[in-house]
A and B are shown apart, each in its own frame.
Chain A
Amino acid sequence: MSALELRGVRHDFGERPVLREVDLTVGTGEVHALIGFNGAGKSTLMRVALGMLRPAAGTARIDGVDVGRAPAALWRGVGQVIDSPFVYPELTVRENLWAAARLHGVPRSEAAAAAEGVLSALELEPWADRRASTLSMGNRQRVGLASALAHRPWLLVLDEPTNALDPSGVVLLRELLLGAASEGAAVLVSSHHLDEVARIADRVSVIHAGAIVGELDPRGTDLERDFFAMVHAADQAHRGAGRGAA
Chain B
Amino acid sequence: MSPAYAVEALKLRRSRVVQIATLALVVVPPAMARGFLAAAENAGNDPASLKAAAMLPGLGWTGYLGGLMQIYATAGVVGVGIVVGWCFGREYADRTVVSLYASATPREAVATAKLALLTVWAVGTGLAMVAATWLLGVATGLGLPDAADARVLVRVLALAVLSGLLALPVALAASAGRGYLPAVGGLLVLVVLAQVATIAGAGDWWPWSVAAVWAMGPEAGMPAVAEARLLVVPAVVVTGALLTVRWWRHAEVV
- Residue numbers of A with Cβ under 8 A of B are 47, 50-54, 72-73, 75-76, 78, 80-91, 95, 99-100, 102-105, 108, 144, 147, 151, 157
Contacts and interface: CB of A to CB of B under 8 A. Distances in A.
30 contacts: A47-B252, A47-B253, A50-B101, A51-B101, A51-B102, A52-B253, A53-B253, A72-B104, A72-B105, A73-B104, A75-B102, A75-B104, A76-B104, A78-B102, A80-B102, A82-B98, A82-B101, A82-B253, A84-B95, A86-B99, A87-B96, A90-B11, A90-B14, A90-B15, A91-B10, A103-B3, A103-B4, A103-B104, A103-B105, A157-B102
B102 A108 contact: no
Nearest to B253: A52
B4 to A, nearest CB: 7
B14 A52 contact: no
B230 to A, nearest CB: 35
Nearest to B7: A99
Contacts of A151: 104
Given A53-B253, A91-B14, A95-B14, 10 more contacts: A75-B103, A84-B95, A86-B96, A86-B99, A90-B11, A90-B14, A103-B103, A103-B110, A104-B105, A151-B104
Given A91-B14, A103-B3, A54 B252 contact: yes
B146 interface: no
Main secondary structure of the interface of A (DSSP, over half): loop
B71 to A, nearest CB: 29
Contacts of B3: 102-103, 105
B94 interface: yes
Given A88-B11, A102-B6, A52 B101 contact: yes
Given A72-B105, A75-B103, A103-B105, A52 B10 contact: no
A144 to B, nearest CB: 7
A146 to B, nearest CB: 12
Contacts of B95: 83-84
A103 B94 CA distance: 18
B238 interface: no
Interface in B110-124: 110
B44 interface: no
B20 to A, nearest CB: 12
Contacts of B7: 99, 102-103
Which of A47, A72, A88, A144 counts the most B-chain CB atoms under 10 A from its CB? A88
A103 B16 CA distance: 23
| Across the A-B interface, the 8 shortest Cβ-Cβ residue pairs | A105-B104, A84-B95, A86-B99, A52-B253, A102-B3, A50-B102, A76-B104, A90-B14
A58 to B, nearest CB: 15
A81 B96 CA distance: 10
B11 A147 contact: no
A151 B105 CA distance: 13
A81 to B, nearest CB: 8
A83 B15 CA distance: 23
Interface string B1-25: 0011011001100111000000000
B106 interface: yes
Given A52-B252, A105-B104, A147 B99 contact: yes
Contacts of A91: 10-11, 14
Given A76-B104, A88-B96, A102-B6, A83 B253 contact: yes
Contacts of A73: 104
Which of B14, B15, B98 counts the most A-chain CB atoms under 10 A from its CB? B98
A134 B81 CA distance: 27
Contacts of A157: 102
Contacts of B105: 72, 102-105
Contacts of A50: 101-102
A83 B98 contact: yes
Contacts of B15: 90
B252 A84 contact: no
A151 B104 CA distance: 10
B237 to A, nearest CB: 26
B235 interface: no
A132 B130 CA distance: 36
Contacts of B16: 90
Contact of B99 (A47, A76, A144): A144
Contacts of A100: 99
B52 to A, nearest CB: 39
Nearest to A62: B102
A78 B252 CA distance: 18
B220 interface: no
A5 to B, nearest CB: 15
